[in-house]
Structure 1
C-alpha cells in the first residue's frame, strides 16, 4: 500500500517521540503545524544519520544505502513520477509536503546526505575552514530548515543559523572525541593539533596532559564565539522559534560548560546534562508557549 500523507506524518511523529528524547517535548512549544514539521525534519535527519552509522552494514553497504536514499528522495520530489504506484519510505511523503509548505530549499536535504557520506571514510581535516564546511552539511543545514519552519523576517538569519549549527556541532565533536577516534574520525583540524604539538596518535592513545588541556580550551573558546555569534538569531525569528532555540542553546551550551567543568576529561567521562535538567529546559519552553498563547488570546 502507498503511504498516505497522514500516515507519513504519524510515522515521523512516532519516530521523533521514540528517539528525540527531551527535544521532542520542546517541540510541543510550537504550533501544531510547526510541531508536526519539526517531527518530520527530525525523523528525516535521524534516518539519514542511521544509514551512515548502522553497525549492521559494511561501509560499502552504508554507501549504497545513502545513494539509494538520495535517489528515493529525488523520485519523491518529482512532481510527475514515472511510476504512480511506486512506494516510498514512509517518512518521505511528509518530507515533501513539509518542503513545499514551508518553502525550504530542497538542496538542504541532499546536503545532509553528502555530509553523512563523508563520514564513511577515515575523517581528517587540515584546516578549520574544512571542518566548518563539514559542520554546515551535518548541522548548519538542519538549522536552516528549522528557521524556515519557525519563520524568520531577516535574511541575516541564514548566516546566524549556520553559526548556530557550527556551535552545536563543535560541542558534539569535543564531547565525542574518544568515541569518534575509535571509528577513525578525528574532526579537530590538523592545524590546531600542530599548534599545540598534539597529534592524532595522541588522541587515539588517550593522552591527557597539559597540551591536551590547552588544545581543548582553545576549541571550547572557539565554540563559545560561535554561540555568541548565533545569539543574533533570536532577533530574526518568530517567538515560537525563540523558545526552541533558547532550549537548544541551554542544552548544548550546558554540555560545553560541563566539558570545561570536567577539566576536559572527555576520554574517561561523557559530558552531558542530567535528565531532570533537560526536562526542566523543555518544560520551561512548553510553559512559555502556553503562557504566550494565553496572553495572545486575551
Structure 2
C-alpha cells in the first residue's frame, strides 16, 4: 500500500498502467473502503463497478470543491453527464477543472481529475448495458446534488423526505446502478430485479445516513447540517442552534430516532443481500462488508450519543477484520445472517417511536 501513495499523487506515473491496475490504485487513493470491497466482486463485474465508483467520485469532487461557485459546479456537472454518455471532450473538462481545484481537495482526487480522460476511456470499453447503467447514475447524481449547494444548510433540512431525497441523489441512485449491473451479470439475479431495485435505494440510504450521523460534528464545523428538522421537532430540539459545542439531551433523542430509521434501511439491505444467490459469495461479501461496517458504526454512535467528533465513533481496523471474517463464514446462510444482524442491531431501535415507511420513498 505505501508504495502506491507516490503514484496516486503523480498521475503521469499512472498513465502506462493496465486498466484494472490503474483503477485499483485510484480507488485506494480516494476510498479505502471501496478499494477493499470492490475486488470481492466477480471479474465480470469488477471493472464496471470500479469505474462507476470513480465516476461518482469525480462528481463528488466537483461538489466538494470550495473554490467553485454554485454555477460553476452546475456547469461542470452538466458537462460531465455528456462526457460519460458520449466519451467525448474529456480532455478539456479535465484540464479546466484541474486548474481550479484548491489545496483542500486531496492529492488523490487531483490525480483522479487529471486522469478523467483515461477513466472515461475505460467506461467506454464496457458493455453497452453497463455504460447505460453508469450514465444514468451519474446523470441522477450530477443533476440532483447541485440543488443542495444553493441551500442554507446551517439549520438542517426541513423534513425527513428532504433527507430521503438527498440520500437518493448521493447514494440511492448508486444502489440502483449496482442492482442493474448485478441483474445484467446474472439471469438468476435478474429474476428478483423489481425487488432488488426497490431495496437497493434503501440500502444506499442506510449507508449514507450512517455517514451523515458519523460526520455530524465535522459538518457542523463547516456550518452544514444534513439532519431533518421535523424529526427533531418531535424531540424538542431546534437544529438552528446546533454547534460543535452542543450538549443537549433532546438532540440526542432525535439522534436516536434517526439511528432507528437508518437501522430499518440496513435491514432492507440485509433482505437485498439475501435475495442474491447463495453461491454468488463475491457479490454477497461486497454487500455484507458494507452492511456490517455500517451496523457497527451505528452501534458505536448509539453507545456514545454524546460524541463530538467523528473519530470517536469510527470503527477500528479490528472491527473491520471481524466483519470480514464473520461474513466469510456466514455468507451463504440467510438464517445465520439474520441472526447476526439482529444480535448486533438490537439496541439501535427506539422502542417508543417508529418512523414509517422503512421502505424506499418512491424514486
Bin for the TM-score computed over the shorter chain? 0.7 to 0.9
Shift of 1:100: 1.9
Structure of higher RCO (CA pairs closer than 8 Å, 6+ residues apart): 1
- Cross-structure match for 1:147: 179
SS in 2 for 1:185: coil
Superposed CA deviations along residues 39-87 of structure 1, whole A, max 9, x for unmatched, are 11221111111111124445454343323323423432xxxx6x8x999
SS in 2 for 1:104: helix
User: Any residues of structure 2 matched to 1:91-130 within 5 Å, and which?
Assistant: 91-98=119-126, 100-102=128-130, 104=133, 106-121=135-150, 122-123=152-153, 124-130=156-162
Q: Superposition RMSD on alpha carbons, in Å?
A: 3.2
- Normalising by structure 2, what TM-score? 0.68
2:220/2:244 contact within 8 Å kept: no
Shift of 1:171: 0.8
1:249 paired with 2:285, answer no
When residues 36 and 106 of structure 1 are mapped into structure 2, their CA distance, relative to the original with a 3 A threshold, is: closer
When residues 287 and 62 of structure 1 are mapped into structure 2, their CA distance, relative to the original with a 3 A threshold, is: farther
Query: Which piece of structure 1 moves more, 191-200 or 157-166?
Result: 191-200
When residues 10 and 175 of structure 1 are mapped into structure 2, their CA distance, relative to the original with a 3 A threshold, is: same
> Which 5+ residue runs of structure 1 have no aligned equivalent?
290-298
Structure 2: distance between partners of 1:203 and 1:111: 31
Structure 2: distance between partners of 1:205 and 1:68: 37
Shift of 1:287: 8.7
- Cross-structure match for 1:193: 232
Superposed CA deviations along residues 173-219 of structure 1, whole A, max 9, x for unmatched, are 11111222333432211211222221123213532121011111111
- Cross-structure match for 1:160: 199
- Cross-structure match for 2:86: 75
When residues 218 and 21 of structure 1 are mapped into structure 2, their CA distance, relative to the original with a 3 A threshold, is: same
Superposed CA deviations along residues 76-116 of structure 1, whole A, max 9, x for unmatched, are 2xxxx6x8x99972211223444625362732221111233
- Cross-structure match for 1:38: 49
Query: Which piece of structure 1 moves more, 262-271 or 201-210?
Result: 262-271
Aligned length in residues: 282
When residues 105 and 68 of structure 1 are mapped into structure 2, their CA distance, relative to the original with a 3 A threshold, is: closer
Structure 1: distance between partners of 2:148 and 2:269: 26
